[in-house]
Structure 1
Amino acid sequence: MTADYCLLFDSDGTLVDSEVLLAEVMGDILPEFGLPFSARQYMEEFRGVRFHTIVNTLEARFQPLSEDQAATLEAGMRTRMEARMRAELEPIAGIPDALDQLSSYAKAVVSNGPERKIRCAMESTGLGHHFKGNLFSAYTLNVWKPDPELYRKAAAAMGYAPEQCIVIDDAAVGVEAGLAAGMHVIHINHFPDEESTPEGAVSIQHANELPSVIARLVA
C-alpha cells in the first residue's frame, strides 16, 4: 500500500529547526541595510515566506535598495545562515524516529529555499539518507509556495499524481500550496494558540504523530 503514496516534506520548521536561526540572522543583517527588522517579526509575519518577498515588502515600507545592495544583502544572509546551520542546526523533535517508521514510503523535500540550503540542512542533521537525493527547491524550479505548482512539479518528478501525495508542512504558505495542488496535507502546527489549520488539512502538533496519521490517510 505504501508504494502508492509519496510523502512531500517541507524543510525549514518541518524537518529541521532552522526558523529561529533564520529569524536571528535576518534580524541582524536587514537593519545593517537600513531595513528595520526583528527575529520576532519574522516568526510572526513572514515565516516560510520567500526571502526576496520579505526584502521587497520591507523596501516598500522603508527604502529601496540598489541592485548591488540587494545582492550583497542576500549573499551575506546566505553565508551567515549556512555557518549557523552547520554549527547549530538540529532536526525537529520527533522527526528522525518518524522518518525511520516511514521508511517504506517514497519521500522528497520540497522547499522555498535554495538547493544549497536544503542540502546543508540535510547534511547538518543527518536526515539526507531518508530522501535519496530527492530535493526540490523553489529556486531551481522557479516557483514558490503558496503557488501549488511547486508541489505539483515535485510530485510529477517523483512519478506520483497529486492525489497520491501527502504534504507535510508547518507554514501557512506550504499548507495552502498543498491543498491547492489537490494533495493530502498534514499541518505540523507549532503554534496552535496563534495559528489555525485550514479546512481540508489535518492538524498535528508533534512529529511523533506523523506515522499514525499517515497510516489513516492511506488506509
Structure 2
Amino acid sequence: MAGSTRLGPRSNIIAAHAVAPLPHHWPWRASDATVYSAVIFDFDGVIADSEVRANRTLAESLTAIGLPTTYEECLRDYCGHNWQETERRIVVRLGRPLPHDFRERHRERAQKRFAEGFAPVPGAPEFLESLGCLPRAIASSSSPAYIAASLDRFGLARHFGHHVYSADGWARGKPHPDIYLAAANGLGIDPAACLAIEDSPTGARAALAAGMTVIGFCGGGHILDRAAHGDVLRGVGVHHVAHGYDEVLLHA
C-alpha cells in the first residue's frame, strides 16, 4: 500500500480468538501434506483489497501539492514501501521539502476514502480458514492501527493473534528483509520453511531476501492485467505466481 494510512507507531495489539471450522469447499486442508511450516502474508493487496483506494488517494494528495501524479504512477513508484520511504521518494521528485501539513491532509483524505468501505481480497477469508493450525503472520508496510481496524472490519483478526508486524517499527522497510525475518522469528520458525505471499515487487524482494519461498499474488483489485503483473513478479524472482487464492498451493 502506498503510504496512505501507514501513520502510527509499531504495535502488536490484535487479539487472538479460536479459529473457525474449515469450509468444506476449499481445495486445500490443514491435514494435507505441506512443505511449509508457516505462511506469512503481506496485507494490502493480499488480504485487504485496498490498493486502489490507497493509490488514488496518494495521487490526489501529490497533485494537490503541485506534483501531478497518476494512480498508475503511484502503483509503480510507491506501492509496497513504508511511509518513510514513500515520503523520501516524494521529496526527491518534488525537489523541495513537503508542506508542513502534508501528512495530516493526506491522512484526512485517506480516512475519508477508506470510511467509504472496502473488502477483503476475494478468497482470502476462505484461505485463512483452510489453514487450520498452521502458523501464520502478517508482514506489512502499513500501520498496525490500520491493520487492526481492517482485520476487525473483516472479522479476520482471530487468524493472526499478536503476529502482525509493521515495517514502521523497523529501521529498514521493504525491500529489505527485516520485517519478514521479524515475522519468522516471532513465530519461532526458520525463514527457509516459510511461504510468503506478496503482490508487489518491493515486497517480493523483501521476502526473497529473507530466504523464503515466495508466491507472487495477482488477485487484488488493483491488478488489471494479471498476466503482465505476474511476469513482473517472475522477473523479481518469485517461485510461483497465483492469480487468485485458488492457485495458492501449500502442498506438493
4+ long deviations beyond 6 Å: 1-4
Deviation of residue 132 (structure 1)? 1.4
Which of 145, 151, 154 aligns to 1:122? It is 151
Which digits, 9 at most, give the CA deviation of each residue in 1:132-188, with x for residues without a partner? 131100112333111012100111111111112111111111111111111111110
Are 2:162 and 1:138 equivalent residues in the alignment? Answer: no
> Which of 7, 15, 18 is 2:50 aligned to?
18
8 Å CA contact 1:112, 1:139 repeated in 2: yes
**For 1:50 and 1:88, how far apart are their aligned partners in 2?**
22
List alignment gaps of at least 5 residues for structure 1.
none
Match of 2:243 among 195, 202, 205: 205
Structure-2 separation of matches of 1:127 and 1:203: 24
Give the 3-state SS of the residue equivalent to 1:193 in structure 2. helix
User: Shift of the alpha carbon at 1:51?
Assistant: 3.1
What aligned pairs does 1:57-76 form with structure 2 within 5 A after superposition?
57-65=89-97, 69-70=99-100, 72-76=101-105
Identity %: 25
Partner AA of 1:64 in structure 2: R
| CA shift digits 1:65-115 (9 cap, x unpaired) | 25xx25x22233233323433431110111111111112211111101111
- List runs of 5+ in structure 2 lacking aligned partners: 1-32
The answer on 1:182 being equivalent to 2:182 is no
> Do the aligned partners of 2:49 and 2:119 also contact (CA within 8 Å) in 1?
yes
Of 25, 41, 45, the match for 2:77: 45
Kept after mapping to 2: 8 A contact 1:35/1:63: no
Matched-pair contact (CA < 8 Å) for 1:3–1:106: no
Q: Secondary structure at the match of 2:104?
A: helix
- C-alpha displacement at 1:53, in angstroms? 2.6
Indicate the structure whose relative CO is greater, using CA pairs within 8 Å and at least 6 residues apart: 2
Which residues in structure 2 correspond to 1:83-162 (within 5 Å)?
83-162=112-191
Q: Give me the TM-score of the superposition, normalised by structure 2.
A: 0.76
**Greater fraction of residues in helix:** 1
2:250 is paired with a residue whose SS is helix
Asked whether the equivalents of residues 34 and 250 of structure 2 are also in contact (C-alpha less than 8 Å), the reply is: no
Cα–Cα, structure 1 residues 166 and 136, in superposed 2: closer, same or farther, change >3 Å? same
- Distance in 1 of aligned mates of 2:179 and 2:169: 10
Aligned partners of 1:169 and 1:199: how far apart in 2? 12
* 8 Å contact from structure 1 (residues 89, 125) kept in 2: no
TM-score (norm 1): 0.86
